[in-house]
Amino acid sequence: MGEEIKKGLMGVTVDETAVSKVMPEINSLTYRGYAAQDLCAECKFEEVAYLILNGELPNKKQLKKFEKQENKERKISKILVDAIKKIPKKAHPMDVARTVVSIMGLEDKETRDNSPEANMRKVMRIFAKTPVALAAFYRSRKGKKIIPPKSNLSFSENFFHMCFGKVPNKDIVKAFDVSLILYAEHSFNVSTFTARTITSSLSDIHGAITGAIASLKGPLHGGANEEVMHMMNKIKKPENALKWINNALDNKDVVMGFGHRVYKSGDSRVPTMREYFGKVAKIKKDKKFEKIYDIVEKVMIERKDIHPNVDYPTGPTYHLMGFDTDFFTPIFVISRITGWSAHIIEQHAANKLIRPLAAYNGSKHRQVTSLSKR
């Protein structure tokens, strides 16, 4: 009897965390004990970022200080701006995200200091500067002038301002804020585990977040929201949706935006994001993607009993907001920096090098023959 192999570490508990949990008793993702959908209803993204990083929701004074710190760190260096301008226009924005965090690591004077205090200062810099750098590339690749951050705008408002040169109405901003809250953290997912693994070697936070971004790029993780939009663009119009999804299932094609390893009866984030998807569609007077969404969802549940995950409503919501499809996952990045950072800090606090075993299934011992006899 050989060793039992747990492919993908399925069902293996490797460590403890106080950052987040999907609580089965309420079938909900929770951050520090608070249901994510309740945080969406009561808080703006900055409050949730503070909660994830500090363990408690902020009072007014703490929030003001946190926002002031984030605001102060927004400006990016001329070196970074020049690097962004030189990046090939056709580069994937996720590769740009990875690169800009790496450059920040080269510039940061505290890169090698892994003390809790230094790490929190670096977190604030990465958190504040990454959206600025990504928005700069968003403009640069279109041949447009880079728009610097504004100090009198919220985190979400500022991102819209830097990408489009204007801030949309408050309902669109709220929908964006909700998406950031829902994407902010999700326990030991692939990218978070990557960040913790890198951290376990006592590497630096910039390196850990760079690795996490590389992991998030994949379509089985963060890249799914992009794939959802590609799927909807293939379907083109609601009249095609029923035939398209049935053909996809008949051909055993993978339908992106559905299923989740953690949730057994549907992703608890979906109802909230679906609601805001509907609100954005109404504001934009475009119900096409909602209709496609509903038809595909209905067939997936009826035929496969597979429910949508949060990427399914988020993709078309970002599209309606005006973002390019390949920018959907980088938006995920600017939110998830909070969750990654909390896990990196937690890993440092009780570190053990992550070094699993592998069951060898290669050749038995062999003798080496000289080159002339091979």
CA 131 to CA 36: how far, in whole Å? 22
Greatest CA separation for the chain:
78
For this structure, is 311 an active site residue? yes
In this structure, are 59 and 194 located in the same domain?
A: yes
> How many domains would you assign to the chain?
2
pLDDT at position 224: 87
Mean pLDDT, range 1-23, rounded to an integer: 88
Cβ burial 336-367 (10 Å sphere, 16+ → b, else e):
bbbbbbbbbbbbbeeeeeeeeeeeeeeeeeee
Q: Which two tokens stand for residue 369?
A: 């023959």
In a domain, 69, yes or no: yes
pLDDT, tens only, 158-216? 999 999 999 999 999 999 999 999 999 999 999 999 999 999 999 999 999 999 999 99
- Looking at the chain, the whole-number percentage of residues with pLDDT higher than 70 is 99
Residue 1 has pLDDT above 70, yes or no: no
Q: Is residue 205 part of a domain?
A: yes
* pLDDT tens digits, one per residue of 234-293: 999 999 999 999 999 999 998 999 987 777 678 999 999 999 999 999 999 999 999 999
Do residues 263 and 144 share a domain? Answer: no
- Is 358 among the domain residues? no
In DSSP terms, which residues pair with 29 in a beta bridge? 22
The single residue of 38, 221, 294, 324 carrying the catalytic annotation is 221
Residues 191 and 317 in one domain: no
CATH number, domain of 253, equals 1.10.230.10
Amino acid, res. 360: Y
The pLDDT of residue 2 is 65
3-state helix, strand, coil in the chain (%, to 5): 60, 5, 35
* Mean pLDDT (whole number) for 295-315: 95
Active-site annotation holds for 186: no
- For residue 221, indicate whether it is catalytic: yes
The DSSP 8-state label assigned to residue 114 in this structure reads: -
- Shared-domain flag, residues 148 and 266: no
**Nearest Cα to 296, choosing from 226, 259, 244?**
244
| Same domain flag for 115 and 208 | yes
CA–CA distance, 85 with 187 (Å, rounded to integer): 35
Phi and psi at residue 152, to the nearest 5°:
-100, 15
Question: Which one of the listed residues 260, 307, 319, 348 is annotated catalytic?
Answer: 260
Query: Angle of helix 205-216 relative to helix 93-107, nearest 10 degrees?
Result: 180
What residues make up the domain containing 228?
Answer: 224-321
Q: What is the CATH number of the domain that holds 124?
A: 1.10.580.10
95 and 237 share a domain? no
CA distance 24 to 27: 4
Output the pLDDT for position 259.
83
Q: Are 305 and 152 within 8 A, CB to CB?
A: no
Point out the catalytic residue in the list 108, 177, 311, 326. Answer: 311
The per-residue pLDDT for 47 is 98
Q: What pLDDT, in 10s, does the model give residues 24-35?
A: 888 899 999 999
